[in-house]
Structure 1
Amino acid sequence: MFANLRTPFRVLIYRRARLSIAGPVSGKGRLAIGKCWPGQVSRGTEVAVRPGGAMQVDGIFALHRGVEIRVGKGGRLTLGSGYLADDVRIDCHHAVTIGHRVAIAARTVIMDTDHHDLTGSRGRTAPVVIGDDVWIGLGVMVLKGVTIGSGAVIAAGSIVVRDVAPGMLVAGSPARDIRPVTWTI
């Protein structure tokens, strides 16, 4: 079922999915929440935009089963087009931007915050930017202050703590350059 939610974009909410909107939602895209492949059992999917937070959807974006998205006060989440596979988590307290034609595999975590202050750190929050045509593998962690360039591929299990150049394959903990690559969704 599509819901208008007084926004210019449309939302398709599948079984066992929840959308909790207290902040502004904008964009001209479409968002599918809680999508399952044939034969899969649905699991709870939750998108929560808290008061003072904002979300923008510019393209067609699918959130598969088990995805959790939290946009806190002062946070801004921008989605281009692509998908988040099963059990992906996004914590947005500053800014998370995901480009177009982006594939993010299961159990990935994207955070623009440490949630706590730490003496000598570079701040509690910093924006995360994921460019167009990016592929993020299974179980990757993308931490605050990271920019992933367009066309990059992040290997499964990597922890991304610094910027990734466009068109580069990175792997490891922390993620390091492996070689230039090209790929398409």
Structure 2
Amino acid sequence: MTSDNTGRNLDADVPVIDLSAAPGERAAWDRPKFVVYLWAIAELVFVTNAWQISSGLRVKVLRAFGADIGENVVFRPRTRVKFPWKLHIGDRSWIGEGVWFHNQDHIHIGSDVVVSQETMLTTGSHAHRRDMALITKPITIEDGAWVTSRCMVLGGVTIGRSALVGPMTVVNEDIAPNTVVGKAPTRKLGSRFPSSREGI
């Protein structure tokens, strides 16, 4: 709690959005409820499943629910796809283990693209100053790009042709073709244990 010199609670003036009145996320479903629930079961059994079942079987199940996936795509275990009917992948792309397509809007991935382990692509956000209503924007990853492990790609961005995104990068703006981006390089912050010269 923050208070002034009279003891008045200054935090009481900060508004709080009543989440029970927030518009529901079902606006992004674009399919009947039974299809969304049936997909949740199929995703658990065939896509998110950690067993090393066939990548081809995973792709067939995704296509059966409306995903637009090209030829010779590798789709590894433990992946998640919110809505397969909003997923578009070109030919020969590789989707690494644990990738999460939180695609409340469309995600377009070109050909010969690599999305590495445990990367999250999320197209949704919320009207955080108004009523927390769902806001969605698509993601586009162009041919030949490589998004390496544990990145987060946010809605509304385009990753250009043959760009490379370094590990654990948050992508919140467009990346030009043939560009390498990443987190700031590792730097020393100090010593875990002080030396005798540094004192205690």
Question: Shorter-chain TM-score: what band?
Answer: 0.5 to 0.7
Distance (Å, rounded) in 1 between the aligned partners of 2:101 and 2:58: 15
Distance (Å, rounded) in 1 between the aligned partners of 2:56 and 2:86: 19
Name the structure with the higher strand share.
Answer: 1
Unaligned runs of 5+ in 2: 1-43, 48-54, 185-200
Is 1:95 the counterpart of 2:106 in the alignment?
yes
TM-score by length of 1: 0.62
Distance (Å, rounded) in 1 between the aligned partners of 2:171 and 2:165: 8
Aligned to 1:154: 165
Is 1:131 the counterpart of 2:159 in the alignment?
no
Identical aligned residues as a percent: 21
SS of residue in 2 equivalent to 1:90: strand
Code of the residue aligned with 1:108 in structure 2: it is T
Is 1:60 the counterpart of 2:84 in the alignment?
no
**Offset from partner CA, 1:69-124 (integer Å, 9 cap, x none):** 1117xx6210113111111100111210000001111010011112x432279x71
Aligned to 1:41: none
SS of residue in 2 equivalent to 1:18: helix
CA contact (8 A) 2:63 2:69 kept: no
Code of the residue aligned with 1:96 in structure 2: it is I
- Aligned residue pairs total 131
1:49/1:146 Cα in 2 relative to 1: closer, same or farther (>3 Å)? farther
Is 1:104 the counterpart of 2:115 in the alignment?
yes
Higher Cα Rg, which structure: 2
SS of residue in 2 equivalent to 1:97: strand
1:100/1:48 Cα in 2 relative to 1: closer, same or farther (>3 Å)? closer
Aligned to 2:46: 18
SS of residue in 2 equivalent to 1:32: helix
Structure 1 runs, 4 residues or longer, greater than 6 Å off: none
Unaligned runs of 5+ in 1: 1-15, 20-30, 36-45, 174-185
Distance (Å, rounded) in 2 between the aligned partners of 1:139 and 1:145: 19
| 1:79 counterpart (89, 110, 113) | 89
Name the structure with the higher helix share.
Answer: 2
Code of the residue aligned with 2:95 in structure 1: it is L
TM-score by length of 2: 0.57
1:58 shift after superposition: 2.4
Aligned to 2:128: 118
